[in-house]
Amino acid sequence: MNKKFVLAPDSFKESLSAKEVCQAMERGIKKVFPEAEIILAPMADGGEGTIEALIDATEGRRVFKNVRGPLENSEVEAYFGILENSDTAVIEMAKASGLELLALKDRNPLITSTYGTGQLIKAAIDEGMHKIIIGIGGSATNDGGSGMARALGAKFLDEKGEEIPSGGGFLKKLNQIDMSNFDKRLQEVEIFIASDVTNPLVGKNGASYVFGPQKGASAKMVEELDENMNHYANIIYRDLGKDIKNKAGAGAAGGLGAGLLAFTDAEMKLGIELVANNIHLEDKIKEADYIFTGEGGMDYQTKFGKAPFGVSKLAKKYKKPCFALAGHIGEGIEVLYEEGMTAIFGIQGTAQTLPEALKSGTKNIERTSENIARILSITEY
């Protein structure tokens, strides 16, 4: 009987997409098991690559839109995914409001906005979507999702009843939130927030203090942003009746997590769980003989919501051998063996610089997959 392999890796950042990792694994396995049934199930954990993983796994499609970038007068071409034969859209906020869209000199969380992310949500609803998955990693913003809500019709007014400017630096002027023109279609849409961040909105562990500096915030700006965010949360509680200040995950993506929880009926979910559910990973693993997973780097943090950990948990549930490949193996991987991982393999064949290692990822993954398959072939006799 031909063996069945399920290949469910995350991307190897800056080297290969999850789909390309799958294809390299497949080539290596086929050298040993040419008749094997190979199921490609590219993965992501809610951050970068989530759209691609879900589109590739479901043969979905991309919808391109010109939207506002992180800065007021900027425009970017962004896109969201629609899963095949469904009314489910997948959005990565980083495509419209991400740090990667700004040069170092332009990073300023006092003025950056999630407006473009709101435009993508509106575009998905215009396409008839009734379920939206939003990955909220990699943001350039610290506006509490106010820009997103503004793009969907909310108005943020000062004491004179005039709209305040965009950005977290102006939230201190907020006196009232006007929802009279907010897009009512959102009431009919299920929204799931894909994130493994558990930080609250405010305080020393909140959005501004923890993530503000990487977005260009000085120590003084961080303090100002946190005070503004606290004021913003108080106005939300008064005007919308939602207490989002200390919700786990509210601080994700500069408070976009809080904004989605406040302005919609969104639910916070682990990204890996959302991806796994939407590609029916459990059903695939249930019927497999062997599972391959992996990502660019693995260490003790892999246990906290990363894709290989989610895959190994399902493999353990069905008592399937699970093998992981990694470009770099750090400290503390022993905990993964207790959670269903059979073995973890570093893919480097020789000492290399980082640029060399990134460039040779395909070859190294293919060779390592072949070597694992050769070990497995011995057990067939």
Kindly state the percentage of the chain with pLDDT values over 70.
Answer: 97
Q: Which residue has the higher pLDDT, 2 or 117?
A: 117
Confidence of residue 291 (pLDDT cuts 50, 70, 90): very high
Average pLDDT, the chain: 92
The arithmetic mean of pLDDT across residues 110-118, rounded, is 97
Mutual orientation of helices 307-317 and 271-278 as an angle, nearest 10°?
60
Any idea which of 42-56, 119-133, 201-215 has the lowest mean pLDDT?
42-56
Total count of residues recorded for the chain: 381
The band of 300, judged by pLDDT with boundaries at 50, 70 and 90, is: confident
Question: Which of 173-177, 271-275, 317-321, 342-346 comes out lowest in average pLDDT?
Answer: 271-275
What is the pTM (predicted TM-score) of this model? 0.85
> Is 162's pLDDT higher than 60?
yes
359, two tokens: 């460039």
* C-alpha–C-alpha distance, residues 247 and 253, integer Å: 14
Q: What angle do CA 47, 50, 52 make, to 5 degrees?
A: 140
> Tokens 């008592």 correspond to what residue?
319
Kindly state the average pLDDT of the residues 287-306: 90
pLDDT band at 381 (very low <50, low <70, confident <90, very high): very low
pLDDT band at 357 (very low <50, low <70, confident <90, very high): low
b/e map of 234-269 (b: 16 or more CB within 10 Å)? eebeeeeeeebbebebbbbbbbbbbbbbbbbebebb
Of the candidates 24, 254, 272, 265, which has an alpha carbon nearest to the alpha carbon of residue 140? Answer: 254
Q: How far apart are CA 339 and CA 170, in angstroms?
A: 46
Q: Give the H or E element holding residue 92.
A: strand 88-92
362 pLDDT above the threshold of 70? yes
